[in-house]
Structure 1
Amino acid sequence: MKITLLGTGDAPGTPVIGCTCPTCMDAHSGGRSMRTRFSILVESEKGKVLVDTGPDLRTQLLGNGIRHVDGVIWTHTHYDHFAGFAEFHRVQYNVDIFGIKETLDYILDYLHFMHPQRHEVQMYSPFLLIGLEFTLFEVVHPPAKRPVGVMIKEGTKKVVITGDTQRNICSRSLELISSPDLLIADAIVPPTVEVKKHMNSEEALDLAKSIGAKRVVFTHLSHYFAPHEIASKEFPLGFDGMKIDV
C-alpha cells in the first residue's frame, strides 16, 4: 500500500489570499509551505482510490500523473473536501463513490451531473476496494453531519486517516483504530492558536500516543504554523506530494 498526500492544506489553503505572513510568503516562493486543499491518494497493486477531492484536485492529478481512479471516498460535506470532484468532468465518467448516506445525499445534490456510481457504506462496516479493506468510523467535526475517518488495512498493515475532527473521538472509534502503522491526523494549528472544530498539533500527538500509532503525519495544516522547514523540526508535518510506503 502506498499513500500520497495530494493536498495538506486547510480550507483557504496556503498561501492565503492577501496574506503576507512568513509562511504564506514561503509558499509564494515555492517552498513546502505551499499547501493545496485536502486529498489523499491510496494505491495498491490493483488500483487507486481518493480519500476526499478538494477544490485543487485538477492540479493535484496533473502534478502526480494520475489519469484514472478506481473509487472516491468522502469523509464529510465541507466544500474543501469534495468540490474538486467536478474536475473529473469529461475525463472519467461513472466514478465509483463511497460514503455514508447523509454525505452522499448532500454532495451528489450538487454534483449530480457527474452521474457517479453511488455506494452507500455503513459506519464501522468494512468494505473491499482495490484489494484493500476500508472502514469508516465516527469522528467529531461540528457542524458537519456524521463526519467520518477512514481506516485502511492490507494484511497486518493498518493506516488511519482521521479526517477533520476534534480530539473527543468516541471509544468505539478509538478501539477500532488502535495500533496503526500510520496515523494521518488532522492538526490544523499549533497549540498557541485557539481552534474549535479541529485538533491542534498537541491534541493530534496525544491521539497518536493514546492509540499507539507507530508513525504519525499531520495534514489539513494552516498558515498559522511557521514556514514548513522550521515547523517540521518540531512537528511531523506532511507536505503536498509526500509519498509513504506502508
Structure 2
Amino acid sequence: MDTLVFLGTGDAMGVPRVYCDCETCSESRNGGLNARLRSSVLIDNGSDGLVIDCGPDWRGQMEEQGIRHMRRLLVTHAHFDHIGGLPEWADACRWMGYRGQLYAPAEVIPVIQRQYPWLENQLDMIPCDEGITLDGWAIETWRVCHGKNGYSYAYRLEKEGYAWVYCPDSISLGEEETRRMHNADLLVLGTSFYYEAAELSTRSVYDMTEAAELLKEVKPHRAIYTHMSHDVDLRKDYILPEHVTLARTGMRVSLANAAE
C-alpha cells in the first residue's frame, strides 16, 4: 500500500521567518508543531518512491526521513521553493552513480535548464504533459492560475480505484482548471493563510476561506491543506469544512480506499 508523506508543508519562505517573533514563528523556533520546511511530498511505496517538488530544504527533508537516494521527481513549477534543491539532488545522483529522472511540464523544463544549466549532466528531464505512468500511478498534469506569480501545475494521480490531486500553488481557478479535481479521494491544496486581507491582484495562493468554497465545487472525499505561512498556527482551532486536515511535517496518509 502506498503512503503519502509530507516532507514539507510551508510556503515559499518557510516557518519560522528569520526576522519574525510572532507566536507561530517563536513556537516553531523551539521545535514546535509549526516548524515548516518548503512544501514537498513523497509517495512511499517501500522501495524507490516518488517525490513531488525539490525545494531548498530537500537535503534536510531526506535526512529527516532517513532517505539516502532519490531517483525520480515530479516538478509543479520552476519557482525557487520548488526547485532550489535540484543541484543537491543532481550531486547526490553523481555520487550514487545513476541519472535521476525529472518529470515536468514541457514549458517548465527550459526554465530549469536556464537556471541550472549543468543539471543535465546528471538528470534526465522528461516532459509529462501527455500523461505518464510511474509505479502504477496514472499521472495527469495541467496548468493552474498562480495569481500574480503566473502559472503553476497540478497533478492528478490514479491507481487501483484511488485518485488524488496535488495542487500546492493556485488561486482563483476556473471551471477547466478544476475539472480534474472533481470527486477525488484526496485533494492536497495549498492555502498560505487562513484569511488573507491583501488585494486579490497581489496574491498567489488560496486562503482557507476561499478553499472552502472550492471544496464545495469539486467535492473531494478528503482534503489536506499545505503550503502554509506563519499566519497559520496549528495550535489554533480553525473553522474548516468537514474532512479537512492541516498538514504537519512528517504526516503520513494512506493512498488507498479504507476498505482495502
Rounded Cα–Cα distance in structure 1 between residues aligned with 2:187 and 2:63 = 26
Q: Does residue 1:151 correspond to 2:156, yes or no?
A: yes
Q: Does residue 1:229 correspond to 2:238, yes or no?
A: no
Q: Does residue 1:119 correspond to 2:126, yes or no?
A: yes
Could you say if the C-alpha distance between residues 28 and 192 of structure 1 is closer, same or farther in structure 2, counting changes exceeding 3 Å? same
Quote the offset at 1:171 in angstroms: 2.0
Q: Does residue 1:16 correspond to 2:17, yes or no?
A: yes
Alignment of 1:47-196 (within 5 A): 47-93=48-94, 94-115=99-120, 116-122=123-129, 125-144=130-149, 146-166=151-171, 168-194=172-198, 196=203
Q: Which segments of 5 or more consecutive residues in structure 2 lack a partner in the other structure?
A: 256-260
Which has the larger displacement, 235-244 or 76-85? Answer: 235-244
Quote the offset at 1:244 in angstroms: 0.6
Given that 2:168 and 2:226 are in contact with CA atoms closer than 8 Å, whether structure 1 keeps it comes out as no
Rounded Cα–Cα distance in structure 1 between residues aligned with 2:108 and 2:128 = 10
Aligned pair count?
A: 242
Given that 1:38 and 1:52 are in contact with CA atoms closer than 8 Å, whether structure 2 keeps it comes out as yes
Could you say if the C-alpha distance between residues 69 and 231 of structure 1 is closer, same or farther in structure 2, counting changes exceeding 3 Å? farther
SS of aligned partner of 1:217: strand
The C-alpha deviation readout for 1:109-146, integer Å capped at 9, x for no partner, is 22232321111122xx3210122111112210145454
Given that 1:157 and 1:181 are in contact with CA atoms closer than 8 Å, whether structure 2 keeps it comes out as yes
Quote the offset at 1:38 in angstroms: 1.3
Which has the larger displacement, 171-180 or 143-152? Answer: 143-152
Rounded Cα–Cα distance in structure 1 between residues aligned with 2:239 and 2:208 = 13
Given that 1:150 and 1:163 are in contact with CA atoms closer than 8 Å, whether structure 2 keeps it comes out as no
AA aligned opposite 2:221: K
TM-score of the two chains, using structure 2 as the length reference: 0.86
The C-alpha deviation readout for 1:67-93, integer Å capped at 9, x for no partner, is 222311111121111111222243214
TM-score of the two chains, using structure 1 as the length reference: 0.91
Which has the larger displacement, 78-87 or 112-121? Answer: 112-121
Sequence identity, in percent? 24
Given that 2:13 and 2:38 are in contact with CA atoms closer than 8 Å, whether structure 1 keeps it comes out as yes
Given that 2:147 and 2:205 are in contact with CA atoms closer than 8 Å, whether structure 1 keeps it comes out as no
Given that 2:9 and 2:247 are in contact with CA atoms closer than 8 Å, whether structure 1 keeps it comes out as yes
Q: Does residue 1:242 correspond to 2:251, yes or no?
A: yes
Could you say if the C-alpha distance between residues 76 and 90 of structure 1 is closer, same or farther in structure 2, counting changes exceeding 3 Å? closer
The C-alpha deviation readout for 1:30-49, integer Å capped at 9, x for no partner, is 11100001111123356311
Quote the offset at 1:18 in angstroms: 1.6
AA aligned opposite 2:252: K
Rounded Cα–Cα distance in structure 2 between residues aligned with 1:59 and 1:161 = 22
